[in-house]
Amino acid sequence: MQYVYKMCESLGFPVLFHTGLTAQRDAEQKFIKPFDFRPLAEEYPELIMILAHGGKPYWYEEASTLALTFPNVYIDTALIDPLSLQEAFPNLEKLAPKIVFGSDWPVVGSYSALLENYRKANIASEIISAIFYDNAERILKEALDSHSRTIPEALIAMSVN
């Protein structure tokens, strides 16, 4: 996987990592804690890492710590109940620039119900805007602006240990 991480880092492609427990019966419950990904964040400081589910349900604090420590680490909201988002992330205002919307559709069910729960959650409009739009726009714009290599150029420039 080191080759893939280096390639994604070189091209500016974000990589999504599943964190937290899964209900999938045939999946191993390993490499699921956000801190399991700290070595990658350190080794690949330009690899945009998105921690899906924010470590749900036990490791929200680990996800927060990584996102606030490493400029390249973000959290997505997939399957985190919007009504408990502020409880899961007590430092939501500080963390807001590092959170992107995730739904885990079709598991989440109705988008209408999900969006209604965001409305009911009483989260500041600036934070909602950051989660649903601003952060994703910034991540993708920075990736495009700073990583203008083509795939062949990235392959030539790469050196994987």
Q: Where are the domains of the chain?
A: 2-157
Kindly report the CA angle at 24 between 62 and 84, in degrees rounded to 5?
A: 45
What tens-digit pLDDT sequence spans the chain (161 residues)? 888 898 888 888 899 999 988 776 776 767 889 999 999 999 999 999 999 999 999 999 999 999 999 999 999 999 999 999 999 999 999 999 999 999 887 777 788 898 999 999 999 999 999 999 999 999 988 887 766 666 666 666 665 54
Q: What pLDDT sits at residue 151?
A: 66
Task: Identify the H or E element spanning 134.
Answer: none
Per-residue pLDDT, 88: 96
Range 32-38 contact pairs with CB under 8 angstroms and sequence separation of 24 or more = 32/59, 33/59, 33/62, 34/59, 34/62, 34/63, 34/65, 34/66, 35/59, 35/62, 35/65, 35/66, 37/66, 37/73, 38/66
Q: What is the pLDDT of residue 95?
A: 98
Q: Does domain 2-157 have CATH number 3.20.20.140?
A: yes
Q: What is the pLDDT of residue 27?
A: 66
pLDDT confidence of residue 103: 86
- pLDDT of the residue at 106: 75
Q: 40-47: which pairs have CB atoms within 8 A and are 24 or more residues apart?
A: 40/5, 41/66, 41/69, 41/70, 41/72, 41/73, 42/70, 43/5, 44/5, 44/6, 44/9, 44/72, 45/70, 45/71, 45/72, 46/9, 46/12, 46/72, 46/146, 47/5, 47/8, 47/9, 47/15, 47/72
